[in-house]
Structure 1
Amino acid sequence: MKRTLLAILAASLFNLGCHGLQNQPNRFASKDKPTIRVATFNVSMEATNYKLTDNLDASGNALTTALQSDQFKQINNIAQIIQRTRPDVVLLNEFDYIADPEQGINLFKNRYLEVSQNGFDPITYPYVYLAPVNTGVKTPIMGENARLTHFGFGHYPGQYGMVLLSKFPIDFDNVRTFQHFLWQDMPNHLMPTKQDGNSWYAQNERDIMHLSSKSHWDVPVKICDQQINILASHPTPPVFDGPEDRNGRRNHDEIRLWKDYISETGNNYLYDDKGKKGGFSGQSFVILGDLNASSVDGDAHPKAISQLLKHPRINNYLAPTSNGGLLNKPQNPHAASHTAHWGMRADYVLPSADLTLTNSGVFWPAKDEDGAELVADRSASSDHRLVWVDIELQVDKSQCAL
């Protein structure tokens, strides 16, 4: 790809923050304070990536089979990207939900992450959070003319699931999930109830429709003497629908859930899967995930992601960037901050405003940089890129062994 003068200039400006993506994290960015790296990565580790059967409805075990086979270079490459960037906490989107960890996430940990990939140091995550998601889960509304047949798109329960890996203890007793929160219970929701004079979602559909296409998790992580809550989700893509824009509206409201959750008021309507009401009660958080929305590219509702990017409790830092993203769409002025190969910022690491950031980036090497083969196309790893942020802890390094 021939670089324009503008691209060369932009690449040089971004080089300082992006070229060292494969380096070890800077544990002590300041003299006295340690840092941790928090990341999100849509890994595309679901059935359609592993051509093991033509019957997708029966491929709920595809990931287990693929992990056990040691025949899919894509899985090794995903592990290598994680070993290169070395996040301390990482959310994996599109990692199929498998209730038995020994048949899913532990296979990935033991056989890939904890084994050197291409000479890079193994990486260990002692703490894991995984839980059911709505994708592929059938609704009780069935029949020839039924439209709401699943709570979230998927050929089998758990497809496009997610899992959180952490080097630090997770406070499992205080995790909150919002898998079953009803869309109609959000005040002033955008659910399309009429299209061309006819109801899109009939009353019996509205009565059971979950807001979250996968789930929304609030996972407290204990890091030294500090707690940081991971707010994880994967809203539906705002496409694959009709003029009623049901997916675009759902994407907006899935993102809005987090906006309301972290706000000081306006969240009394929220209830989690255990019945607890209200919003976020902690101090520090990081919103993680493939949010499938951009304020400048794509088909999302124009105000969807702005709800978070302009929120006073969100750290207003410059978007993470990469040389690979910049050169992937050189005519797009926002290309350096893209996180998906088709040209969009879709994946986010959004720390709360009280947290101090020291560095950020997107793992997307340019074609002439080390590791470029790992992101050559979706079959190499994923159609998304790993995004990371380094956070300075407010503890003395002598009191925090990392």
Structure 2
Amino acid sequence: MQRSRAAVLAAFTSAALVLLAPVAANAAAPSRTAMEPGAATNPSIIVATADAGLSADEDGKVLSSLRSGNDEAAKDLAKSLQGARPDVVVLTGIDVDSSAATVDVLREQYLEKAQDGTQPITYSFVFAPQTNSGVASGADLDEDGTVGGPGDALGHGAFEGQESMVVLSRLPIDNSAVRTFDSMLWKDLPGNHVKQAGYSSLVTSTLPLQSTSLWDVPLTVGSSTVHVLATSATPAGGSEAADEQRHEDQLSFLTRYSSGDASLKSIVDDQGRPGPLAASARTVVVGSLGADADQNDAGSSSVQSFLDAAGAGTVAPSWGSDRSRAAAPFVWSAPLRKLLDDSARSTRIGVEDSGRFDYVVPSSEMRTQRSGMAKAATDQPTGVSSRLVWVSLSR
């Protein structure tokens, strides 16, 4: 029986990581950041993202596991963050309840405790409001003949807060200037594709653009402000027929919002403030973009269009380098080299949709110093292995 591309990739992953791990370990030691002594005059910041692998099929299950103090995914994630030491990190793929207890336990019992000899790390500033994940829509969005269930939520989820996201920061968050976009309707985006999605007029009158959310979280970095645009886009190849159109429009909105596009002057955030960011704002888009630009799958072209507009072609950290493979005592065949290249650039390994889904994309006003990856976590039920992506930036 012929094996799938993802299965073959997963089979070679262990070998690839053995070869490339020394390079990745070196990459995960970024230089001085804004939170360290002597950096105040010309501060740099390390911005990171990862799929936390902390989501379960039942509400409260992740919280219970975390409270045991022995959650392996949380330990892996903590070790990764303690090694890379980002100043701000956007975690996706995490169940977040209304009180953010999951986030508190993660910080207190894992991040603030040494993992295998690493130094604890403290994130004093947290942004973890509820998102659209798992919120009932009251409509049969997945057209299975029944109203209710994960496919009928405003954002796919079996309960509110499933597969949500959180921002952890060592830098102060300007809470008075935070903007969120949970409530903005899909139909209100200029040039939207909601009609192609095939929903009724009743559904389109209530369906938001964001399946999770888009957050504009301003951080104080020295005397400047850096806007972290946290996102967890709809997977373009998801179970619902409309996922690809929704994903395309989410990335279109993100592109236009971050660039100050005048076409968004009429949009309003959850706080009642209109319009996009100023074109001159320092921004970093952080999180999951919902597809891999290089795999020619659903959503690939939308991700590539976003990256092209952001001018981010050179910011593409990987788990290794050609130099590490060239030094090997044998020659890789072209197919195996491609498999290892795919493995090195992927941020999630072990499922059919393995690939680079997680990004840190700075605006042109920010200067990229270094970037890299580190192992983040392995989701025990699914076996999906994720990687932390980090980028060191300066003003």
Length-normalised TM-score, structure 2: 0.81
Query: How far does residue 73 in structure 1 lie from its aligned partner after superposition?
Result: 1.8
1:340 aligns with 2:348: yes
Q: SS at 1:289's partner residue?
A: strand
Q: Name the CA distance, whole Å, in 2 between partners of 1:290 and 1:302.
A: 13
1:197-236 map, 5 Å? 200-236=198-234
Query: How far does residue 69 in structure 1 lie from its aligned partner after superposition?
Result: 1.3
Q: Deviations over 1:328-356 (max 9, x none)?
A: 97424554322111541110000011111
Alignment partner for residue 248 of structure 2, among 247, 252, 255?
Answer: 252
Structure 1 stretches lacking a partner, 5+ long: 49-58, 195-199, 365-373, 394-402
Note closer, same or farther for the CA distance 1:19–1:113 as it changes in structure 2 (3 Å cut): closer
Does the 8 Å contact 1:137/1:151 carry over to 2? yes
Aligned residues: 357
Moved more, 315-324 or 251-260: 315-324
Corresponding residue for residue 392 of structure 1: 394
What amino acid is the match of 1:251? H
Q: Name the CA distance, whole Å, in 2 between partners of 1:140 and 1:272.
A: 23
Corresponding residue for residue 357 of structure 1: 368
Q: SS at 1:76's partner residue?
A: helix
Does the 8 Å contact 1:67/1:107 carry over to 2? yes
Q: SS at 2:194's partner residue?
A: coil
Does the 8 Å contact 1:292/1:300 carry over to 2? no
Query: How far does residue 253 in structure 1 lie from its aligned partner after superposition?
Result: 1.1
Does the 8 Å contact 1:298/1:344 carry over to 2? no
Percent of residue pairs bearing the same amino acid type: 26
Corresponding residue for residue 178 of structure 1: 181
Q: Name the CA distance, whole Å, in 2 between partners of 1:250 and 1:324.
A: 35
Corresponding residue for residue 99 of structure 2: 100
Corresponding residue for residue 190 of structure 1: 193
Query: How far does residue 383 in structure 1 lie from its aligned partner after superposition?
Result: 2.9
Q: Name the CA distance, whole Å, in 1 between partners of 2:62 and 2:367.
A: 37
Corresponding residue for residue 274 of structure 1: 271
Q: Which structure 1 residue ranges, 4+ long, deviate > 6 Å from structure 2?
A: 28-32, 324-329
Does the 8 Å contact 1:177/1:217 carry over to 2? yes
Query: How far does residue 269 in structure 1 lie from its aligned partner after superposition?
Result: 3.5
What amino acid is the match of 1:153? H
Query: How far does residue 22 in structure 1 lie from its aligned partner after superposition?
Result: 3.6
Alignment partner for residue 25 of structure 1, among 19, 24, 31?
Answer: 31
Q: Name the CA distance, whole Å, in 2 between partners of 1:135 and 1:120.
A: 33
Q: SS at 1:204's partner residue?
A: helix
Q: Deviations over 1:190-227 (max 9, x none)?
A: 22547xxxxx3111111111110100000000011111
Q: Deviations over 1:120-161 (max 9, x none)?
A: 000001100111111111113369544873101101000011
What amino acid is the match of 2:154? F
Give 1 or 2: higher helix fraction: 2
Note closer, same or farther for the CA distance 1:363–1:192 as it changes in structure 2 (3 Å cut): farther
Calculate the aligned-residue CA RMSD, in Å.
3.2
Note closer, same or farther for the CA distance 1:31–1:272 as it changes in structure 2 (3 Å cut): closer
Corresponding residue for residue 383 of structure 1: 385
Length-normalised TM-score, structure 1: 0.80
Q: Name the CA distance, whole Å, in 1 between partners of 2:225 and 2:315.
A: 24
Corresponding residue for residue 40 of structure 1: 49
1:68-147 map, 5 Å? 68-101=67-100, 103-141=101-139, 144-146=145-147
Query: How far does residue 77 in structure 1 lie from its aligned partner after superposition?
Result: 1.4
Q: SS at 2:227's partner residue?
A: strand
Alignment partner for residue 331 of structure 1, among 338, 363, 387?
Answer: 338
Does the 8 Å contact 1:124/1:167 carry over to 2? yes
Does the 8 Å contact 1:252/1:300 carry over to 2? no
Q: Deviations over 1:273-318 (max 9, x none)?
A: 122211012610100001122221152334311232111x544424
